[in-house]
């Protein structure tokens, strides 16, 4: 058994809200075995003591929208790509993630889903792979963003049915749906329908949400904006309980807009993501996303025509930025990146909080979200 002491534990209270607790000891093997006041702790059976030295001890973060990092991409045919992404994610405090596909030739998407399926069954050597976020090809050409228009297809459930065990979230433009029961079929199969890359108006978006769509892909980006006479997709997201992704790099969404969104959503149903590409973790220069050249300078990644193309954001940096922008406590920020996505994915019984019986998926970090240690299933995956 291992223990973590002298840390600020971020724990759910009796209502499930995350709070900071001091003077507690966390004990774990593969799973969390005990969380006790320091005054009640006995060292019997302890193999290793980790001194958090005043740092935060939190559930590991979930990243539900990430294409790649450290030179690797979900669409890479290289069998080692997913492992490379998983290892880098652990360096950022992420302990679970959804490798995200692109709008490419559909057989390439299927091969990517096959690789993700295999990775889901393997013992993690970095962050856990929980399944896939399938972003495209069921999107609108009018809001394709950095996706390749030549590969866009109309949504049909028959195409994705063989991968219902792999796809956890699927991004769809609701105005492109031609099957009346597409959203219902996804929901019955446990696939979360996310609205994104869409030119839908407010009414069309709300109708899709009423039919079962419950997630919004990178809110504000690649969608119709908010107008006082035409609320658009953004208005529908703010006016409902749909879970909304936010790329929190201050490039994709202005800090003031992040505060407006937080207020409109009453602090709920927000999920920080990175939407990072293979250039994340590398230096400036020319990179690639979905077969298209991407030019990276600092925090900005664009296609040749200036279209923003994913990000180079690390999750821990995004959470620091979000805290600075919103001015709220660290436990509330952590809850957005852990409990909210875990509950949505139906895995909160296993991970997403520091609770006895759940996997020992833990991130230890300081006030600036600098990662001091990442633990997945009780095993150290990153120690700087």
Distances (CA, A) of 179 to 57, 174, 176, 333, 352: 46, 11, 9, 38, 35
- 88 or 299, which is more confident? 88
Q: Based on the fold, state whether residues 39 and 81 are members of the same structural domain.
A: no
Between 322 and 293, residue with greater pLDDT: 322
pLDDT of residue 159: 97
Helix (H) or strand (E) holding 49: strand 48-51
Residue 28 β-bridge partners:
2, 32
Confidence of residue 265 (pLDDT cuts 50, 70, 90): very high
Residue 227: pLDDT over 90: yes
Q: With bands split at pLDDT 50, 70 and 90, how would you rate the model's confidence at 199?
A: very high
Same domain membership, residue 75 and residue 47:
no
Dump pLDDT digits (tens) for 167-184.
Answer: 999 999 999 999 999 999
Q: How confident is the model at residue 104 (pLDDT cuts 50, 70, 90)?
A: very high
Report how far Cα 294 is from the mean position of its chain's Cα atoms: 22
| Statement to judge: residues 300 and 257 lie in one domain | yes
Mean pLDDT of 364-381: 98
User: What is the pLDDT, as a whole number, of residue 45?
Assistant: 86
Residue 370 shares a structural domain with residue 324:
no
Give the number of domains in the chain: 2
Is the same domain home to 358 and 322? no
Kindly state the average pLDDT of the residues 319-340. 98
Q: Are residues 303 and 282 in the same domain?
A: yes
Per residue in 131-167, pLDDT tens?
999 998 999 999 999 899 999 999 999 999 999 999 9
Q: What is the mean pLDDT of residues 198-218?
A: 98
Same-domain status, 328 and 373 = no
Backbone dihedral angles phi then psi of residue 162, each to the nearest 5 degrees? -65, -10
Of these ranges, 40-44, 243-247, 295-299, the one predicted with the greatest mean pLDDT is 243-247
Does 59 have pLDDT greater than 90? yes
| Ordered DSSP codes for 13-39 | -TTS-EEEE-SEEEEESSBEEEEEEGG
Q: What percent of the chain lies above the pLDDT cut of 70?
A: 100
Q: Are 344 and 243 in contact (CB under 8 A)?
A: yes
Q: What is the pLDDT of residue 305?
A: 87
Is the predicted pLDDT of residue 123 greater than 90, yes or no? no
Catalytic residues: 275
Give the containing element (helix H, strand E) for 381: strand 379-382
The CA distance from 185 to 108, in Å, is 24
Pair 74, 189 in one domain: yes
Residues 158 and 39 both lie in one domain: no
Indicate the pLDDT class of residue 78, thresholds 50, 70 and 90.
very high
The per-residue pLDDT for 365 is 98
- CATH code where residue 35 lies: 2.30.40.10
Q: Are residues 202 and 301 in the same domain?
A: yes
Instruction: Provide the pLDDT for residue 223.
Output: 98
- Position 291 scores a pLDDT of 82
* DSSP calls for 81-93: HHHHHHHHHHHTT
Largest CA distance in the chain: 66
Residues 251 and 127 in one domain: yes
**For residue 77, what pLDDT band results from cuts at 50, 70 and 90?**
very high
Tell me if 200 sits within 8 A of 208, measured CB to CB.
yes
CB 189 within 8 A of CB 164: yes
Q: Are strands 68-69 and 379-382 parallel, antiparallel or unpaired?
A: unpaired
**Average of pLDDT values for 195-211?**
98
Q: Which domain holds residue 51?
A: 2-58+353-382
State pTM to two decimals.
Answer: 0.96
> Average model confidence (pLDDT) for the chain?
96
pLDDT for the residue 195: 98
Q: Residues 169, 226: one domain? A: yes
Q: Which pLDDT score is estimated for 79? A: 84
């Amino acid at each position: 058994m291992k223990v973590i002491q002298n840390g600020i534990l971020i724990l759910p209270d009796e209502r499930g809200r995350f709070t900071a607790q001091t003077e507690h000891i966390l004990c774990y093997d593969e799973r969390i075995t005990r969380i006790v006041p320091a005054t009640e702790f006995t060292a019997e059976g302890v193999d290793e003591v980790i001194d958090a030295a005043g740092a935060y001890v939190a559930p590991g973060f979930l990243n539900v929208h990430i294409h790649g990092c450290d030179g690797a991409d979900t669409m890479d045919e290289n069998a080692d790509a997913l492992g490379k992404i998983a290892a880098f994610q652990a360096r950022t405090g992420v302990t679970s993630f959804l490798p995200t596909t692109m709008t490419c030739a559909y057989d390439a998407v299927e091969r990517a889903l096959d690789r993700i399926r295999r990775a889901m069954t393997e013992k993690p050597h970095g962050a856990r792979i929980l399944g896939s976020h399938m972003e495209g090809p069921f999107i609108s050409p009018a809001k394709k963003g950095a996706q390749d228009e030549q590969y866009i297809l109309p949504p049909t459930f028959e195409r994705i049915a063989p991968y219902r065990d792999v796809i956890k979230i699927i991004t769809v433009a609701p105005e492109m749906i031609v099957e009346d029961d597409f959203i219902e079929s996804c929901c019955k199969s446990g696939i979360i329908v996310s609205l994104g890359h869409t030119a839908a108006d407010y009414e069309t978006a709300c109708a899709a949400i009423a039919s079962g769509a419950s997630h919004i892909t990178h809110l504000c980006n690649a969608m119709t904006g908010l107008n006082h006479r035409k609320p658009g997709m953004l208005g529908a997201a703010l006016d409902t309980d749909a879970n909304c992704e936010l790329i929190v790099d201050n490039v994709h969404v202005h800090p003031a807009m992040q505060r407006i969104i937080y207020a409109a959503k009453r602090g709920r149903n927000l999920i920080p993501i990175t939407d990072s590409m293979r250039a994340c973790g590398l230096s400036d220069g020319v990179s690639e996303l979905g077969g298209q050249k991407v030019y990276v300078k600092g925090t900005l990644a664009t296609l040749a025509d200036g279209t923003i193309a994913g990000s180079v954001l690390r999750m821990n940096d995004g959470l620091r930025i979000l805290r600075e922008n919103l001015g709220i406590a660290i436990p509330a920020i952590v809850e957005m990146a852990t409990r909210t996505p875990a509950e949505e994915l139906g895995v909160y019984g296993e991970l997403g909080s520091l609770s006895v019986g759940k996997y020992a998926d833990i991130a230890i970090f300081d006030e600036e979200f600098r990662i001091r240690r990442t633990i997945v299933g009780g095993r150290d995956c990153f120690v700087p």
